[in-house]
Amino acid sequence: MLERVTEPGNLAQVGSEILKLGDFSQVKVVVQVSELELANIRQNQTAQVRLDAFGDRTFTGRVTRISPAADPQARLIPIEVTIPNVDRQIGSGLLARVQFTQPGADRVVIPESALQESGDRGGAPAGQSGSAQSADAQSDQPPTEGRIFVVNRSGEAATVTERTVRLGDRSDGQVEVISGLKAGESIVVRSSGELQNGAAVRLSIISENS
């Protein structure tokens, strides 16, 4: 409960406000940025949030909304950053300081052909592997989940491990991997047959790590 608007014994009519309730499992921080800074901010971008009430502790959030309109007086654009608040320690009305992670600093992209987004496992074609690399493309598509096969090499032998990844922007046949894959890891891009978790594969082309 955020606030008790009226007290027991008071006369309340239909439609009168009695209590104010709030869900603090997540906390929204609103920060205003200039149009010059806006070029470096995108949807789902990581942001580091510091609250004066918590000293040097840093919270990690993501950009969940970029206002399409600037404040007519200040000419600043409101940006909403959402941070998890599982322990409910963060309350409302606190002073927050937000630092946005530069685009591309923590992003990797892979070819869309490497994804196994449907329930059909036979769509991943064997033995060609590529590597995750820093992403350049940006779009406004919301993230989803997909499946990929990561290549594990031991000498000349290689096996694959199925992994679920969280997906973000897509552009020109490439898709951003928000979590679940690190830059430099090798993945199956195409396969001549059906892949299974732990299966041995023969690699035909291996691209260099970026």
66-85 pLDDT per residue, tens = 999 888 888 899 999 999 88
- 108-205 maps to CATH 2.40.420.20: yes
Q: For residue 132, give the nearest of 189, 173, 172, 170 by alpha carbon.
A: 189
Out of 2.40.30.170, 3.30.750.24, 1.10.760.10, 2.60.120.10, which CATH number does the structure's domain 25-100 have? Answer: 2.40.30.170
Per-residue pLDDT reduced to its tens digit, 126-154: 455 555 554 444 444 444 688 899 998 88
Using a cut of 0.75, tell me whether the model's pTM lies above it: no
> What SS3 state is found at 117?
coil
CA dist 141 and 58 (Å) reads 28
- Residue 40 contacts residue 98 (beta carbons within 8 Å): no
Going from N- to C-terminal start, the domains of the chain cover 25-100, 108-205
> Residue ranges of the chain with pLDDT lower than 50?
118-126, 134-143, 205-210
Amino acid at 57: R
